[in-house]
Each structure stands twice: as C-alpha cells, then as structure tokens.
A = this chain, B = another copy of it.
Amino acid sequence: MIKAAIVGGTGYTGVELLRLLANHPDVELKVITSRSEAGTAVADMFPNLRGQVDLKFSEPDPAKLAECDVAFYATPHGVAMEGARALLEAGVRVVDLGADFRIQDIPVWEQWYGMSHTTPDLVKEAVYGLPEVNRDAIKDARLIACPGCYPTATQLGYLPLIENGLIDSRRLIVDAKSGVSGAGRKASVGTLMCEASESMKAYAVPGHRHQPEISERLSLVAGHKVGLTFVPHLTPMIRGIHATLYSTITGDVGDLQTLYEERYADEPFVDVMQPGSHPETRSVKGGNVCRIAIHRPQGGDTLVVLSVIDNLVKGASGQAIQNMNLMFGLNERAGLNIVPLMP
C-alpha cells in the first residue's frame, strides 16, 4: 500500500482527494494537514466522509510527511514551493495541485502570481502532469505540476488540431464556463449562493492566470508561440467546466472526427463523442473524464470544439491521482473507475 499525505486538506480539492482516495485499492491515507483545523476530525468538517475516513487534520509535520510515499499539495500557490524540496530529498514524491510548478517561464509566473518564486530549479525538474501529453515523463517524475482546470479542458480539446498544424494558432479563442467550486471554499461575498446562483458573468477578461499556462503549453506543442484569447465565465452550478474552443482552419483538415478518435483511442479518460454531440458537464460530474465533441458549423472554416470536465476531478484531484498511479506503476484507472452522478 502506498502511504499518502495531503497537505492543506480543507478546500474542495482536498475533500475531493479524500473522496477518491477513500476507495483507492492501493493507497492508505496517513496524514492530512491543516493549520487552522488541526485536531478536527475530517468527517466532522466533511460529513459525506463519515464512516469512510477516520482521520484528523494535523499540524504540518515534516517528519510525518517524510514517512509517506507521496504528498499531495492542495494548497494556495506559494506553499508547495516552500515545502517540496525537503520532501523530495526525503524520497517522497510530490504532486502539486496548485500553481507553483505549472509555468516554466519564471518571470511570467512571478508576474501573474504576484510573488517571487523561491525554487526555480524545481520548476525545471517538475513534470507537467497532463498524462495525455507527458505520460512517460510522469512515470519517472519525482515532482508533478498538475495542470489547472481550464488548461486541462482547453489543451485536451485543442491538442489534435495543434499537433497536426491544422489551425491558425495565432488566433485561438477560448470561451470557458466554470462552476462555482472553481473559486474554492473560502468565505467571500462573490460566491455566496445569493450572488452567484441564477446569474452568469464573465470575469478576469483583462487577464487570467490560466491564460499564460495554456499559452506556454500549447506553444510547446505548436512549436511556436500561440496567440490565445481566454475568457472565463462564472456559471451557476457547483461543478463542471465547459470550454468552447474556437479556431480557424488553415487548409484542408480531413476527417476531424477520425483524427480525434485516433488521437485519444488509448486514453482511458478522454471520450471523443459521436459527431454532432453536445457534451453536458453533468455527464462528467464526479468522474475523471474529459468528453469532447468537434463541430464545423455549416462547413465553414471556423471550428468549434466542445470540451467538458469536472473541474474538481479531471481538472484537479482525479488527475492528481491519475498522475500518482502512473508514478507508482499502478493501473492508471485504479481508484478512478467512477460513474459520474446523473441526474
């Protein structure tokens, strides 16, 4: 059994890791830390876990963490970069669900996240944990930077087009819609039910932190710097991301449906839907899967790719476990064979 720790377990990605690890056949959860909740039983804070998780939050203790095989950081940015080195040196694999190691370009990271990066060498070492692109590197990695939620849905949607140079990658437009859980479990007026339900709005149109992450990663795939307009929207639902991806073809693109199906034929967690489909976010609620449909409205030169994930699963905690499975040579599906909850 792999011994696992969660650092910072009181947010939504934390409780989602708990849900998924509680039934993982190869993992034993040993430690979950929280400064503010140390001593509280996890199941008292998250009653869905009553009878399933019998653990208390504890103060972060480097010695205890060092006894684990893997540590998940479910923390705000800035925390993992402080703690990761000691764990790595103690032989603990680290999977960061936060943003600390997602962007290779350190000045860009520092600009968007508003702080100095203290461990640039670890950024260099970190493997970007999108298995559909980096599976082999993940298997050998000590340190994983889990992709952001929007970047996961966006990259999986665009990859086949950009890998094959079929679209004008200087003019990508990503119109993304996220459920409110993406804003995290912290007291704030803006995500109160009275403020966020029964309404839709765009936010961060002038600039969002996931834009440079997507941009850097797709540029690596394209072989040149892509141009990307990214507009996120707050949607009145708890879970789910719906990314609507626009692009312009540059020539004959052939059979896109087949292209996508072949690209993802061996991927356990990417589902290319039938032609004409409109994936719903609820079809992935609670499951570690990205469903994709490809449209070319009226045969024109604008493509529309629809890509949906559960932001807390394939967009965060599920993907983190998928990465862990790969790092430890487990079945990639272990603990992730979940049927989404519908209705």
Contacts and interface: CB of A to CB of B under 8 A. Distances in A.
Interface of A: 12, 15, 18-19, 22-23, 46-52, 171, 173, 175, 177, 179-181, 185-189, 191-203, 205-207, 227, 229-231, 233, 235-240, 242, 244, 246, 248, 271, 273, 276, 278-287, 289, 291, 295, 297-298, 300, 302, 304, 306, 308, 337-343
A273 B202 contact: no
Contact of A23 (B48, B273, B339): B339
Given A285-B198, A304-B205, A246 B244 contact: no
A171 B306 CA distance: 19
A282 B273 CA distance: 30
A167 to B, nearest CB: 13
Contacts of A49: 339
A342 B315 CA distance: 16
5 contacts: A48-B342, A50-B273, A198-B237, A198-B240, A199-B240
B298 A194 contact: no
B297 A205 contact: yes
Q: Taking each of A49, A227, A285, A342, which has the highest tally of chain B beta carbons within 10 Å of its own beta carbon?
A: A342
Copies of this chain, complex-wide, total: 4
Contacts of A230: 297
B341 A300 contact: no
Contact of A231 (B51, B233, B304, B308): B304
Contacts of A202: 242, 244, 278, 304, 306
A315 to B, nearest CB: 14
A281 B235 CA distance: 11
Contact of A237 (B197, B280, B295, B342): B197
Given A206-B276, A291-B47, A297-B205, A235 B200 contact: yes
Contacts of A206: 276, 295, 297-298
Contact of A242 (B195, B200, B298): B200
Contacts of A179: 200
A289 B52 CA distance: 12
Contacts of A12: 194, 343
A271 B51 CA distance: 8
Contacts of A175: 175, 231, 244, 246
A298 B208 CA distance: 11
A275 to B, nearest CB: 10
